[in-house]
Chains A and B, each alone.
Chain A
Amino acid sequence: MSTTPAAEVEEHPTPTFANALRAEVLKLRSHRPTFVLAGFVLLLLGLVLFALAQDVVIRSDLPSRPLAALDQVLPPVQFVFAAGAGVVLLTSSSRLVGMEYALGTIRVVLGRGTTRSQLVLAKLAVGLLFGGLLLVAYACLTALGLTLLTVHLAGSTAPIGALPAAGWRQLGLAVLSCAASVVSCTAVGVGLGAITRSLTGGMVLSILFFPLDNALALVLRAAYHLDHLGVWRSVSALLLGPTLNRLPGLLTGQAAASGAVLPTPMVTLAGGGALAVVAGWFLVLLAMALVVSARRDVLA
């Protein structure tokens, strides 16, 4: 250790939400495994598009019935995003919160004036930002992949130009459905990270959240078959995972491939109702994260 530093610091540095956000971006940016996982998701998309290129139905539909071909292509592409990007977002957002407690850096961050709500909101915002960028990258690669697929199968991009307005609307709603998945996974990750205050616990619970949620839908379905009480059907409509499974189909009016495999609510909601369930879960998880962060002592 040597001499006193000379660089002058602002007399009263003020931790703000913008400062907390900037710091969270730096923390996320420096975590290589998150980006490796995101790369795997994009690689998986490439494999799915390659598999779709071999599909004889798509090959025959594409030149004359582009909308029917789109109906074949969209569900698996959406499913890969929901599952792959979901895992990336669940782990990265719960890690953003849990690592502060695991490393004890929460003491340094809060001990210098960043408020607990600023920290939680900054982590949520960075998770959403990362999810948004992942969605944009995925959408761009999908667009590029589908263009190449069309040229490969039809010899030109004419089927894309011939896509009716309903097809473009369907694409827009597919993006909206993926955005709902981004929002849900980020909120689950941040919320469970804040509640468990543990890196491992937060990540494990976040990964298990949707399987448990889907398993609960199956339990409710079995209960309904046993006693035919309407309450099981109503409760199933409030589950996040099954609602997300059904969301692409509800928004586009098509039966999504994921919906055929994974549990769905027993009550058929309108697209707006399903989005309200997603928004409700987001608000509940955010409120829980804020309350537990504000009220509990930091003993990490």
Chain B
Amino acid sequence: MNSNAAIELRGLGKRFGRRTAVEDLDLTVERGEVFGFLGPNGAGKTTTMRMVLGLVRPSAGRLRVLGGAIPEDSAEVLPRVGPLVETPALYLHLSGRDNLRVLAAELGGVPPGRIPELLELVGLAERAGDRVSRYSLGMRQRLGLAVALLHQPALLVLDEPANGLDPAGIREIRALLRQQRDRGTTVFLSSHVLGEVERVCDRIAILHRGRLAYTGTVESLRGSAGRFRVGLDDADRALRWLRAQPWGSDARLGEAGEVEVGSPTGRGRDLNLALAGAGFVADSLTAVQRDLEAAFLELTEG
């Protein structure tokens, strides 16, 4: 296993009775990266995050966090992790400030000055004395983030951190995550807001029915469509020729007059060679990138 990885999962599995929640999951999150963890509801994201935090014991496989095995080394490793799993878990009868005080006491080593700073950071300084039961979902989410950041963790494990936030709040979360990455903090986050994942994540993994369906960069996921937009002088004639080819039957004319078509091998170079062989000279050839949502749906809906 790679001891330099922030999170390393090997053959990880979890069964609840007869139901398989996660199966044979191999995943590596490098230190210092923002890693997006995607998947439809019930795909096993939260179960995986709970296993990373030592809350749920794996049924199979191995799991290392910040170099330590989970659950064996939990006591040494987890104090360096900042968790926010599912809805923010807070003491509703306490104020926002007292929640941070209690959880700071639990961990130890958090200077008193850290609490007002964090309340300021998440925009709750003015409501810090109010009971959390009077907070909106967005405010609770902000406080949950403050709890996760309380001890300046080396790894943030965030499950839907933008849940309940307005667009301005989502933008602030994005800035916060970038700031954390700049500090060297690794961020492992799940989200349904694909646009947000696209903007902040260095790499992503897509989980589908408990299995890994994709891992890599957002760019490579979008670029893996294997389709190209070709600018040609004689687009109509090229279109007829392409449609006659076994790999080009779905060729179509784009809005800007370019031809959109797949490649015989999936590579742009081979498409260009085929066109040249048929006497067509391409003025331009660009890969068609799917939007993330389309790629996500393609992977998870088959």
Residues on A facing B (Cβ under 8 Å): 1-10, 12-16, 18-20, 22-23, 26-27, 30-31, 99, 103-115, 297-299
B135 CB to closest chain A CB, in angstroms?
13
Cβ-defined contact, A5 with B114, below 8 A: yes
Q: Which residue of A lies closest to B145 (CB)?
A: A1
Contacts of A7 in B (CB 8 A): 111, 113-114, 117
Q: Which residue of B lies closest to A4 (CB)?
A: B179
Chain B residues 54 to 86 lying within 8 A of chain A, measured CB to CB, are 54-57, 74-83, 85-86
Cβ-defined partner of B56 (8 Å) among A10, A23, A105, A299: A299
Contacts of B285 in A (CB 8 A): none
Q: Which residue of A lies closest to B108 (CB)?
A: A19
> Given A13-B107, A19-B108: A111 and B172 within 8 A (CB)?
no
B194 CB to closest chain A CB, in angstroms?
22
Q: Which residue of A lies closest to B76 (CB)?
A: A113
> Given A110-B55, A113-B77: A15 and B108 within 8 A (CB)?
yes
Cβ-defined partner of B89 (8 Å) among A3, A103, A115: A103
Cβ-defined partner of A297 (8 Å) among B56, B106, B151: B56
Cβ-defined contact, B147 with A111, below 8 A: no
**Assembled-state Cα–Cα distance A266/B186 (Å):** 65
Q: Which 4 pairs, one residue from A and one from B, show the smallest C-beta to C-beta distance?
A: A10-B109, A104-B89, A5-B117, A113-B78
Cβ-defined contact, B106 with A114, below 8 A: yes
Contacts of B90 in A (CB 8 A): 103, 105
Cβ-defined contact, B107 with A1, below 8 A: no
Cβ-defined contact, A27 with B111, below 8 A: no
Q: Is B176 an interface residue (CB 8 A)?
A: yes
Contacts of B92 in A (CB 8 A): 103
Contacts of A99 in B (CB 8 A): 91
B19 CB to closest chain A CB, in angstroms?
13
Q: Which residue of B lies closest to A115 (CB)?
A: B75
Q: How many residues of B contact A (CB 8 A)?
A: 57
| Segment of B36-44, B118-126, B223-231 in the binding face | B118-126
Cβ-defined contact, B89 with A112, below 8 A: no
> Given A12-B80, A104-B89: A110 and B108 within 8 A (CB)?
no
**Assembled-state Cα–Cα distance A8/B106 (Å):** 17
Chain B residues 147 to 195 lying within 8 A of chain A, measured CB to CB, are 147, 149-152, 157, 172-173, 175-176, 179, 183
Q: Which residue of B lies closest to A8 (CB)?
A: B111
> Given A13-B110, A113-B74: A2 and B53 within 8 A (CB)?
no
A123 CB to closest chain B CB, in angstroms?
12
Q: Is B202 an interface residue (CB 8 A)?
A: no
Cβ-defined contact, B79 with A15, below 8 A: yes
**Assembled-state Cα–Cα distance A23/B104 (Å):** 8
Cβ-defined contact, B91 with A103, below 8 A: yes
A sample of 6 cross-chain residue pairs with beta-carbon separation below 8 angstroms, ordered by A number, consists of A7-B111, A9-B151, A10-B110, A13-B79, A13-B109, A110-B54
Q: Is B127 an interface residue (CB 8 A)?
A: no
Most buried by B among A7, A8, A298: A7
**Assembled-state Cα–Cα distance A182/B160 (Å):** 43
Cβ-defined contact, B83 with A14, below 8 A: no
> Given A108-B89, A110-B53, A297-B56: A6 and B117 within 8 A (CB)?
yes
Cβ-defined contact, B82 with A297, below 8 A: no
Contacts of B123 in A (CB 8 A): 1-2
| Segment of B1-9, B93-101, B211-219, B240-248 in the binding face | B93-101
B70 CB to closest chain A CB, in angstroms?
11
Cβ-defined contact, A111 with B105, below 8 A: no
**Assembled-state Cα–Cα distance A192/B233 (Å):** 80
Cβ-defined contact, A107 with B83, below 8 A: yes
Q: Is B103 an interface residue (CB 8 A)?
A: yes
Contacts of A1 in B (CB 8 A): 121-123, 142, 172-173, 175-176
Contacts of B54 in A (CB 8 A): 110-111
Cβ-defined contact, B105 with A19, below 8 A: yes
Most buried by A among B87, B105, B117: B105
> Given A13-B151, A110-B54: A23 and B85 within 8 A (CB)?
no
Cβ-defined contact, A2 with B50, below 8 A: no
Q: Is B102 an interface residue (CB 8 A)?
A: yes
**Assembled-state Cα–Cα distance A8/B117 (Å):** 11
Cβ-defined contact, B94 with A112, below 8 A: no
Cβ-defined contact, A111 with B55, below 8 A: yes
Cβ-defined contact, B86 with A104, below 8 A: yes
**Assembled-state Cα–Cα distance A69/B21 (Å):** 69
Most buried by B among A16, A104, A107, A299: A107
B69 CB to closest chain A CB, in angstroms?
14
Most buried by B among A4, A26, A111, A299: A111
> Given A26-B105, A114-B106: A15 and B50 within 8 A (CB)?
no
**Assembled-state Cα–Cα distance A18/B87 (Å):** 28
**Assembled-state Cα–Cα distance A195/B141 (Å):** 30
> Given A1-B172, A1-B176: A111 and B78 within 8 A (CB)?
yes
Most buried by B among A5, A20, A110, A114: A5
**Assembled-state Cα–Cα distance A2/B85 (Å):** 23
Cβ-defined partner of A112 (8 Å) among B81, B93, B121, B122: B81
**Assembled-state Cα–Cα distance A19/B101 (Å):** 12
> Given A13-B151, A27-B91: A107 and B55 within 8 A (CB)?
yes
B72 CB to closest chain A CB, in angstroms?
12
A182 CB to closest chain B CB, in angstroms?
24
